Chain A
Amino acid sequence: MSTDTAIPGRSLLLVLLAFVSSLPAHMEYLPLWFWVPGILVIGWRAGVWLGYLHFPRLPARIIVLTLATLAVLVATGASLTLETSTAFLLATAFMKLLELARRRDAVVLLLLTLFIQATGFLYGQGILITLNGVLTVWLTAAAMLSVQAAHRRGVPENLPVFRHAAVLLLLALPLMLIAYLLFPRVGPLWSVPLQTESAFTGLSRSMSPGDISRLSESDRLAFRVTFSGSRPLREDLYWRALILSDYDGRAWHSEENPRLVELPERAADTDQGMYLYDIIAEPHGQSFLFSLAGVSPRTTGTGVTEEGLLARTSPLMQRLRYQAGSEISPAADILTSVERARYLALPGDNNPRTRQWARQLAEKHPGATGFALAIMRYYAAQNFVYTLNPPAYGPQDLDEMLFDVRRGFCAHFASGMVFAARAAGYPARIVTGYQGGEWSPEGYLTVRQYDAHAWTEIWTGERWQRFDPTAMVAPERISSGLEEALSQEGSFLQQNLLSPHRYRHVQWLNRLRQQMENMNYSWTRWVLSYDSSRQRSLLKDRFGIEDITRAVYLLAGSLVVVMVLASLILWWSQRPPRERPLLREWRLFKAQLVRYGLTVEAAESPPSLLRRVARQWPSLATQAQATAELAEACLYRPDGGDEDALARSLRALRRMLRPGTETAAARDVHKGTV
């Protein structure tokens, strides 16, 4: 109807605001230069509004479209990934700005804005992003109202669209809550393009010595842990993620697709002697999970690999919350000959000095433990330097590191130790994961990427024993974290100027950061981690519903109840106003008169009608006269009469009028006067 009218300035401003507010979530993965053309387009549209520019013609639009496509492909690396799709979505929306002329265009752009916001949630779900999303929805609703209501008579010039939109959105909250809790959470319906792995920061399946130090540049969250019951000491917080057992002469690799093994059913009382913890892991695009040694899974969908690591079958693309337990003192194990061979493999003949040194050391210190301790002592005694910026090593990297340069990071030290152990004939492996973390005052542990660590495990004959050479070189790394360990060098988060973690010594900034993190943690723990297993347990505990299909009935039922309630409210608010008692009596009285054959004129005044009644039915005369006087008082006396008395009187009169009441005419007939 009127959808093709131009957009007034105020509505246009709101539409643009809403659109811009949906963008921040996408800044995460798009390069900064991507936004430059976007800003130009917004400027162009503003120029059109101000009258300096025109909407671009078709050739210009085609050129812009081509450029936008190129920009998307360059920015996201020209492959079908999630980033490419959402970047195309953004480019389309920016293009729409160039033809944002009529109300219909504005509506299309606003619907796009909502979808852009939704896809933004794929990249971030923190509390700030959530608040940003709420703002977007609010602005979009306000803009929609403004666009719809533009140029309407009777609508105030400055329609309070913000307040109005807020009210409408709040009205919708109860229904939303019901749907959020009860809509059955099912698994993915089909596989979808996922974020590229480079989008995630985290450990990788292979490690050359420099890799971990790159991670140390990042202050991104890795996972958060809450312990129930006892917590381990900080020195024992070795979060295992991957085991790198295969050496190719330079780098260490983990097994490609670790198989999850069936664990024997555990008795319920085995919580004794275990650490029990609850982890919310950030997505990292791989299937490994984080756990302490001696782990057993507590959440469906997670399992243990043959190497004793916690993992799941599919990559972790979304934040995951899981529980696990770890034995405080792991039990004895066995090593098959196949495994033994793998953990001894040392292909090639590089690092000859290390090989020889290891063999000599093994002769002096028999036994795996004795040998390992000897190497640890070597690391402690030889003035090794713990540094984020080690020199570039040549092909004989471990020889140089161990005997000449003596500078390195955890990965270097662990590599050296495992290499030496294997050379000496003791099965050994590198474990990567995270060490330590930051305890919050609320009692949960936050582990970040810069807590990434590599250490060794050496087979003692009956179990894998953890040895961490870094603890010898830089004890502060283990006892208080990376920042302490690098305090001499001053290289903590060197590249990351804006990271709030760099400024942990600034008291108020640190407090602010911690509070923000607390809120994010609670948000994740209580709201975002609501998934199918949590839904099932909520339905079971609160509503006693075991079957998910019954939840659907519950959802449908609640929707019906809400709709019926809304209809009742509408009906109640629109019911006819209650009739005043006097008017009701008067209406009933007149109906009675009509029933008894008296014609009632609309223009006749009540007293005159009452007098007519008195003449018509002599037996009612007294009462009718009295009523007429009351009516006159009510109608004409300046101070008004007694309306209640009049109502009562009318009712009495109505009741006196019965089928047998004699009319004046009939009486006259009786008397024979006619």
Chain B
Amino acid sequence: MSQTKAALATEDSGFRRWRQAVWQRWLSRRIPPASILALSHRNVFILPSRTGWVFAALLLVMLLTAINYQNSLIYGLTFWLLSVGLTSMWLTFRNLSGLTLAAGQVQPVFCGETLQLPVQLHSRNWSAGLELGYPGHTPTEVTVAPDQTLTLTVALQTTQRGRLPVRRLRVQSRYPFGLYTAWSWVALNYPVIIYPQPVVSPISLSGGDELLAAEHAAPQLQENGDEPDGLRDYRPGDSLRRIAWKQSARTGELRTLEMTTDTGPACWFDWEALPGLDPEQRLSRLTAWVEDAAAQQWRYGLRLPGQVINPGQGEQHRRECLKALALWGSA
């Protein structure tokens, strides 16, 4: 008995999956992913909402009352409300039609964090009562005035490292009376990389002579004896500890000490240093190490199967390492 039920359930979910797949295929033909999309009759859907159906039932009852009691005023009221209903279908559709959505620039995040995806909205007419949201997220509500451009962010919880897959954003409106729901599934392309979720674990370093050097060097590396090599202008991302405060105070402009250690000994973070873990766990730990090393301003390199990043330092290097970790294994 319970087995049949389970079988039915799987069959049901199988059917559902199939239906979902067909729907997605159809959608991707109808509304292909793009970085900018204008909504029109081609890609806006509209159906009566639950309130709309109740309203329709009410109108039917009122019409029957008018017929049975031969009452002109009830006829009039019924037809007025009917025509308000039809007009508001047009208005609800217009809220979406003529709306242009464009994907904005996004900074990378770690997996598990919530992406705040900027969407730039522009409308040729009133787009009232818009609700934008990815499935499973609280929608953002907004109204766009004619020829107004505004940017708002839509939340998206990340669950997977790598390039952000194209997800469909639901844009809908029920304005003015909530009798209809007009909606579209907008696939906006965001060229953003999701880094693996960092999992903190004790750092174990690896790699020939560098290993030795690093073991000795690493703890003292940050502040110790390296003589400043020279001064250069402050660049965003420079550590506060490296700012030459005295000189900066004198000139009134921030100066940064340039260290000779930039070419000094380095540590290696190695895939092989984490035996017995599955790839995702290794990547997560490596990510945590990279973050840690970057915060401590070590020089570090990264060894992944099939990819080696030579030791380096700085924001650029960090991003390169994280990107390699994020995209590891994907073509």
Task: Give the interface of A toward B (CB within 8 A).
Answer: 1-3, 107-108, 111, 114-115, 117-119, 121-122, 125, 129-130, 133, 137, 141, 144-145, 148-149, 151-155, 164, 168-169, 171-176, 179-180, 183, 185-192, 317-318, 527-531, 559, 563, 566-567, 570, 573-574
- CB neighbours of B152 from chain A (8 A): 153
B58 on the A face (CB < 8 A): yes
Query: Do A133 and B175 have beta carbons less than 8 Å apart?
Result: no
Expressed in whole angstroms, the Cα–Cα distance for A130 and B77 within the complex equals 10
A-B contact pairs, 10 of them (CB 8 A): A117-B77, A118-B62, A153-B142, A154-B142, A172-B84, A188-B68, A188-B69, A189-B67, A190-B68, A531-B72
Interface string of B60-77 (1 = CB under 8 A from A): 011011111111111111
Interface string of B69-101 (1 = CB under 8 A from A): 111111111111111101110110110011000
> Which residue of A111, A141, A152 is within 8 Å of B54 (Cβ)?
A111
Q: How far is the CB of B48 from chain A (nearest CB, A)?
A: 14
Expressed in whole angstroms, the Cα–Cα distance for A183 and B78 within the complex equals 11
Expressed in whole angstroms, the Cα–Cα distance for A130 and B93 within the complex equals 32
Q: Which residue of B lies closest to A569 (CB)?
A: B90
**Which among B67, B73, B87 has the greatest number of chain A C-beta atoms within 10 A?**
B73
- CB neighbours of A318 from chain B (8 A): 69-71
- CB neighbours of A125 from chain B (8 A): 71-73
Q: How far is the CB of A183 from chain B (nearest CB, A)?
A: 7
B140 on the A face (CB < 8 A): yes
- CB neighbours of B312 from chain A (8 A): none
> Which residue of A3, A122, A149, A175 is within 8 Å of B175 (Cβ)?
A149
Q: Besides A115-B61, A118-B77, A154-B145, 12 other CB < 8 A contacts?
A: A3-B178, A117-B77, A118-B66, A118-B74, A121-B73, A121-B74, A144-B177, A148-B178, A176-B76, A189-B68, A318-B70, A527-B72
- CB neighbours of B253 from chain A (8 A): none
Q: How far is the CB of B91 from chain A (nearest CB, A)?
A: 7
Q: How far is the CB of A200 from chain B (nearest CB, A)?
A: 15
- CB neighbours of A192 from chain B (8 A): 68-69
Expressed in whole angstroms, the Cα–Cα distance for A171 and B90 within the complex equals 11
Q: Which residue of B lies closest to A179 (CB)?
A: B79
Query: Do A152 and B178 have beta carbons less than 8 Å apart?
Result: no
Counting contact residues on chain B (CB < 8 A from A), the size range is 35 or more
Q: Which residue of B lies closest to A571 (CB)?
A: B41
- CB neighbours of B80 from chain A (8 A): 137, 169, 172-173, 176
Expressed in whole angstroms, the Cα–Cα distance for A190 and B67 within the complex equals 9
- CB neighbours of A567 from chain B (8 A): 90
- CB neighbours of B62 from chain A (8 A): 114-115, 118
Given known contacts A115-B62, A125-B73, A168 and B90 CB-to-CB distance under 8 angstroms: no
B51 on the A face (CB < 8 A): yes
Task: Give the interface of B toward A (CB within 8 A).
Answer: 40, 51, 54-55, 58, 61-62, 64-84, 86-88, 90-91, 93-94, 97-98, 124-125, 128-129, 131, 139-145, 150, 152, 172, 174-178
Query: Do A183 and B177 have beta carbons less than 8 Å apart?
Result: no
Q: Which residue of B lies closest to A103 (CB)?
A: B178
**Which among A107, A121, A559 has the greatest number of chain B C-beta atoms within 10 A?**
A121
> Which residue of A108, A121, A137, A172 is within 8 Å of B87 (Cβ)?
A172
Query: Do A573 and B124 have beta carbons less than 8 Å apart?
Result: yes
Expressed in whole angstroms, the Cα–Cα distance for A169 and B177 within the complex equals 12
- CB neighbours of B55 from chain A (8 A): 111
Across the A-B interface, give the 8 residue pairs with the lowest CB-CB distance, nearest first: A175-B83, A154-B143, A179-B79, A121-B73, A172-B83, A574-B98, A172-B84, A152-B141
- CB neighbours of A144 from chain B (8 A): 176-178
> Which residue of A155, A186, A529, A566 is within 8 Å of B143 (Cβ)?
A155
Query: Do B61 and A148 have beta carbons less than 8 Å apart?
Result: no
> Which residue of B72, B87, B131 is within 8 Å of A528 (Cβ)?
B72
Query: Do A145 and B176 have beta carbons less than 8 Å apart?
Result: yes
- CB neighbours of A119 from chain B (8 A): 65
> Which residue of A185, A187, A317, A574 is within 8 Å of B40 (Cβ)?
A574
Query: Do B129 and A175 have beta carbons less than 8 Å apart?
Result: no
- CB neighbours of B73 from chain A (8 A): 121, 125, 129-130, 133, 528
- CB neighbours of B58 from chain A (8 A): 111, 114-115
Q: How far is the CB of B110 from chain A (nearest CB, A)?
A: 28
Expressed in whole angstroms, the Cα–Cα distance for A466 and B68 within the complex equals 40
Expressed in whole angstroms, the Cα–Cα distance for A119 and B129 within the complex equals 33
**Which among B51, B54, B93, B174 has the greatest number of chain A C-beta atoms within 10 A?**
B51
Q: Which residue of A lies closest to B51 (CB)?
A: A107
Expressed in whole angstroms, the Cα–Cα distance for A529 and B58 within the complex equals 25
Q: How far is the CB of A594 from chain B (nearest CB, A)?
A: 22
Given known contacts A111-B54, A318-B69, A189 and B64 CB-to-CB distance under 8 angstroms: yes
Expressed in whole angstroms, the Cα–Cα distance for A2 and B65 within the complex equals 33
Q: How far is the CB of A495 from chain B (nearest CB, A)?
A: 30
